[in-house]
Amino acid sequence: MEALLSWCLRMVDTIGPDIVAARDELDRYEAGTHPDQDAYHGLSSRQRVTRFAALTAEHRNALPGQLSSDGQSAINWAQIAIRLNLTNHQVHPHLRDPVLDRDLPVAAGSFVGTITGRIDDQPWRQQPITTQELSALMKCLSAACFVVISYLSGMRPGETLNLRRGCASQHPDTGQLLVNGRYGKGHGRAPRPEDGEHDPWARAWVVVRPVHQAIEILEQLSESPFLFPASLTGAHVRRPADHNARRTGDMTHDLQRLIDWVNTTFARTDGKPLIPTDPNGRIYPSRFRRTLAYFIVRRPRGLIAAALQYGHVSTTVTLSYSGKADTGWQDDVAVERLEAILEQNEQDHLLLAEGESVSGPAATAYQDQIQQTHRFAGRSVNRVRNVERLLAQVDPNIHHGDAMTCVYRPETAACRTARVNEGLPVDDGPLEAECQSGCLNLAYTDRDIQLLRERVSTLDAGAEDPLAPEPLRDRTRAQASQARSVIARHETTTTTDATS
């Protein structure tokens, strides 16, 4: 799912503007307002075709083309008619001679727009988008926007699909980015005129910048009142786009189309797909909400926090749902948190049973907490309130960090004390970036020590680097010495626990 989100963000940021520009240029051709059509104003149909052929030859351009049934490029007369603003968008056979007589080259497609987006310092494609592929690319872009909005807001699929044009706003006082929509399932998603300004289902989600960027792209992609209309490119007889949003089942197909397009269009050097098959099966829209909960709990420094360069998704989304009648989001996070705690405890308990050593001031507390939490392994939970009760009892507040483990107790946490003394806000948990070697909450497992041993080699090399500034070498040398001290204490003062 991370690879999918990464490519969806790339679609919105890099590829999307080119797709929107291609759609805009085609719309202007069809409306007769494109600047290139000025040369044909006031001319008859035959004069337009004749002038078009002359200008194409003069500028050494190729004719708009399309692939025929045998895979060869053929003249796309419909596109020529659109660009010449001819009646019924047709070039009648008796008008075609001025073009055919010049024996002009035919392009592989009918190109619109230009390519400006770059991936790895290269244009994301070599040729402009063709009119034949534009419709499919628009659906892929719409699906990518759906992923970004759903993934990074915690909205349900129906809540996302029913968002309307103009839903993005910013709070005038706090500066928070908002998405205004309707929460809930079923009838709650459809506005009722009789509710007026007192709509009980209306609500605002607090979101992050990429969500607003996706909404901006969608508002440029079509003129429908819905961000996700029933159809982006053609009239939908049974469900007109002006009155109907896209259905969840249709979006499921769009998501698969997006994945297939990315894996077909772009390639890795090892031949593996850029968006691999998900181990949990087909990707459905309903999975994004729970997946965000998963990453907030288990991967707080993963793609969502690091690659996007913001670390407040958890706070933003959770605050967005707090105090609302809809408590489903907090329930998802609570369940995910309980599962993560029990899974980590199972691994820690197994390693202790196999003789893993632990050192540091919090070594005994680490072992005690692992034992206490393990008593709850195998419990069945069938209600949300049971999840909350178990969380209150089983959370050992053990955090495995980078070559160290924190058995967090706020009253002895050096990171917390330092922030309190400076008058800074504090979180209800450890701050690894401000971890101090003398903290009483620290413990070191054999796993941590192995990482420290690997780090010492790197630090030693840095300390002896003649090209590095002297202050940097001194700092690196001190870090290596400190790591060696931790390793030495672990080898002489470790404790083991014969778990049962």
Q: Is the dihedral of CA 290, 296, 300, 306 positive or negative?
A: positive
Give the chain's mean pLDDT.
Answer: 83
**Distance of alpha carbon 51 from alpha carbon 115, whole angstroms:** 28
**Distance of alpha carbon 432 from alpha carbon 416, whole angstroms:** 11
**Distance of alpha carbon 225 from alpha carbon 258, whole angstroms:** 23
- Sorted by sequence, the CB contacts under 8 Å of residue 389 that are 6+ apart come out as none
pLDDT of 217: 98
* DSSP 8-state symbol, 321: H
Q: Which of 118-122, 239-243, 463-467 has the lowest mean pLDDT?
A: 239-243
Tokens 């989100």 sit on residue: 5
**Residues 115 and 128: beta-carbon distance below 8 Å:** yes
CA atoms within 13 A on the CB side of 59: 8
Angle at 221 between CA 217 and CA 226, to 5 degrees: 90
**DSSP letters for 407-453:** E--GGG-HHHHHHHHTT----SS--GGG--TT-TTEEEEHHHHHHHH
Q: What are phi and psi of 304, to 5 degrees?
A: -60, -40
358: three-class secondary structure by DSSP: strand
pTM: 0.66
For residue 444, list its beta bridge partners.
359
* DSSP 8-state symbol, 128: P
**Distance of alpha carbon 57 from alpha carbon 71, whole angstroms:** 25
Confidence band, pLDDT 50/70/90 cuts, at residue 309: very low
Confidence band, pLDDT 50/70/90 cuts, at residue 312: very low
Query: How far is residue 208 from each of residues 12, 160, 169, measured CA to CA in Å?
Result: 14, 15, 11
Q: Which of 122-131, 260-269, 362-371, 422-431 has the lowest mean pLDDT?
A: 422-431
Which one-letter amino acid corresponds to residue 167? C
Query: How far is residue 378 from each of residues 56, 342, 381, 388, measured CA to CA in Å?
Result: 75, 9, 9, 16
408-442: burial string, b at 16+ Cβ within 10 Å, e else: bebeebbbbeebeeeeeeeeeebeeeebeeebebb
- Sorted by sequence, the CB contacts under 8 Å of residue 270 that are 6+ apart come out as none
Q: Which of 40-49, 292-301, 378-387 has the lowest mean pLDDT?
A: 292-301
Counting other chains too, the contacts that 293-300 makes at CB distance below 8 Å and 24 or more residues apart are: 293/154, 293/329, 293/332, 293/333, 293/335, 293/336, 294/336, 295/2, 296/333, 296/336, 297/333, 297/336, 297/337, 297/340, 298/336, 298/340
**Residues 267 and 284: beta-carbon distance below 8 Å:** no
Higher pLDDT, 37 or 292: 37
Helix axes 287-298, 131-153, angle to 10 degrees: 50
- Assess whether pLDDT exceeds 50 at residue 307: no
pLDDT of 385: 67
Render pLDDT for 182-239 as a digit per residue (tens, 0 to 9): 876 554 455 555 455 666 678 888 788 889 999 999 999 999 999 999 888 765 556 7
For the chain, what percent of residues have pLDDT higher than 70?
82
Mean pLDDT of 240-258: 86
pLDDT of 305: 46
Confidence band, pLDDT 50/70/90 cuts, at residue 338: confident
Find the farthest-apart pair of alpha carbons in the chain and give their distance in angstroms, rounded.
Answer: 96
CA atoms within 13 A on the CB side of 416: 14
- Sorted by sequence, the CB contacts under 8 Å of residue 234 that are 6+ apart come out as 135
For residue 118, list its beta bridge partners.
123
Q: Where are the beta strands (DSSP E) in 13-102?
A: 65-67, 73-75
135: three-class secondary structure by DSSP: helix
pLDDT of 199: 67
Render pLDDT for 258-280 as a digit per residue (tens, 0 to 9): 999 999 999 877 888 899 887 77
**Distance of alpha carbon 304 from alpha carbon 154, whole angstroms:** 13
